[in-house]
Amino acid sequence: MPAADRYAVMGNPIHHSKSPLIHSLFAAQTGEAVNYRAILVQPGEFAMAVNAFRDAGGRGLNITVPFKPEAHTHVDRLNERAQRAGAVNTIIFHADGSSVGDNTDGVGLIRDLIHNHGARLEGKRLLLLGAGGAARGVLPALLGQRPASLVVANRTPEKAQGLARDCADLGTVRGAGLAELAGQRFDLIVNATAAGLDDRMVTLPDELLAEGGWGYDLMYGDRPTAFVRWCRQQGAARSLDGLGMLVEQAAESFSLWRGLRPETLPVIQRLRAVETD
Ligand code: ATR
């Protein structure tokens, strides 16, 4: 039997990564000969690690925190969504050694919301919290769903305004500070801030969610995240975390590498079961 093709995720820290499990489940399900592992990369050694992986015959990489912006400058070509995102989470190595950078986070979010949860975003009022790398990665995909409006709100309002300006050609989008949100209503609030990293919640006015409104946290955890807990308190019709997005962005990477799309629902169910073990 020929050796399996080599893939990996690079980040720091990386021990908590669920990507090796997700990709091994995809490989088992599709029968693809894929060997996928996690590689811890030290600060300042990212370019070296990528080159070494490629030179050893590696076929593709996922890139996670904190190297996504650096990966953006390290590939030979960028496709459009990676260019817009300013960040790369997927690298494809071609046989001639050249590399293409992509970003599958936005499509992962949309597939989870629409395909897995039955959301409809067209004509809806959306709020995106945060204006860092994570927000930039998903904003174009949200605007691609043709919402009635999208407000990007951030603790530092200027950053939200800058991000909104950068995406103004894609739809109706406006930047704001968090306090300015009082009195507004949204059908979907997406949390792309890093506040949840220490289980904290962004300070927000009450009653931002319209009747039947949903909340979606790009983060996930073994327990409900601070934002998911807030959405429940606010009476959200659905309060979702980012585990489904994680699996969907991985499936998009897998299909870029292997040319076929794995089933995601059994993998999401399996990961939820691991969490509650
Ligand atoms: P990432 O790549 O995860 O997006 P980032 O680029 O550092 O990380 O961006 C972090 C985002 O979370 C920013 O929008 C940040 O707000 P500021 O631009 O005002 O710094 C937001 N953020 C982090 N901690 C926060 C907190 N406690 N409350 C509100 N926003 C927070």
Closest residue CA from atom 18 of ligand 1 = 156
Q: Are 171 and 147 in contact (CB under 8 A)?
A: yes
Give CA–CA dist 65/183, Å, rounded.
Answer: 35
Instruction: Give dist(CA 269, CA 190) in Å, integer.
Output: 22
Determine the distance separating the centroid of ligand 1 and the alpha carbon of 217, expressed in angstroms: 13
Per the annotation, the verdict on 124 as an active-site residue is no
Kindly state the percentage of the chain with pLDDT values over 70.
99
59-68 residue pLDDT tens: 999 999 999 9
In this prediction, residue 260 carries a pLDDT of 97
Alpha carbon nearest to ligand 1 atom 9, residue:
132
Q: Is the C-alpha dihedral spanning 1, 33, 258, 133 positive or negative? A: negative
Residue-level pLDDT at 275: 65
**pLDDT confidence tier of residue 265, bands split at 50, 70 and 90:** very high
Indicate the top mutation candidate among 109, 156, 193 to test ligand 1's pocket, ranked by most ligand atoms within 8 A of CB: 193
Taking the C-alpha atoms of residue 98 and residue 215, their distance in angstroms, rounded to an integer, is 40
Q: Residue 277 — pLDDT band, cuts 50, 70, 90?
A: low
How far is the CA of 112 from the CAs of 6, 21, 39, 102, 117, in angstroms?
Answer: 27, 19, 27, 19, 6
168 CA → ligand 1 middle, Å: 21
For residue 244, what pLDDT is reported? Answer: 98
Ligand 1: which atom is nearest the Cα of residue 198?
A: 27
pLDDT, position 1: 64
Distance from C-alpha of 102 to C-alpha of 82, rounded to nearest angstrom: 5
Cis peptide before 20 (omega within 30 of 0): no
Q: How confident is residue 207, by pLDDT bands cut at 50, 70 and 90?
A: very high
- The pLDDT score that the predictor gives to residue 276 is 57
For 112-136, what is each residue's pLDDT tens digit?
Answer: 999 999 999 999 999 999 999 999 9
- Comparing 192 with 97, which gets the higher pLDDT? 192
Closest listed residue to residue 86, CA positions, set 140, 37, 44, 23:
140
Average confidence (pLDDT) over 88-112 = 96
Share of the chain above pLDDT 90, in %: 93
- Strand runs labelled E in the chain: 5-11, 34-40, 60-63, 77-78, 90-93, 99-102, 125-129, 149-154, 173-177, 186-191, 209-217, 238-240
With beta carbons less than 8 A apart as the criterion, state whether 71 and 92 touch.
no
| 216-256 per-position pLDDT tens digit | 999 998 899 999 999 999 999 999 999 999 999 999 999 99
Q: For 150-160, what is the mean pLDDT?
A: 98
Amino acid letter, 233: Q
Mean predicted confidence (pLDDT) in 175-201: 94
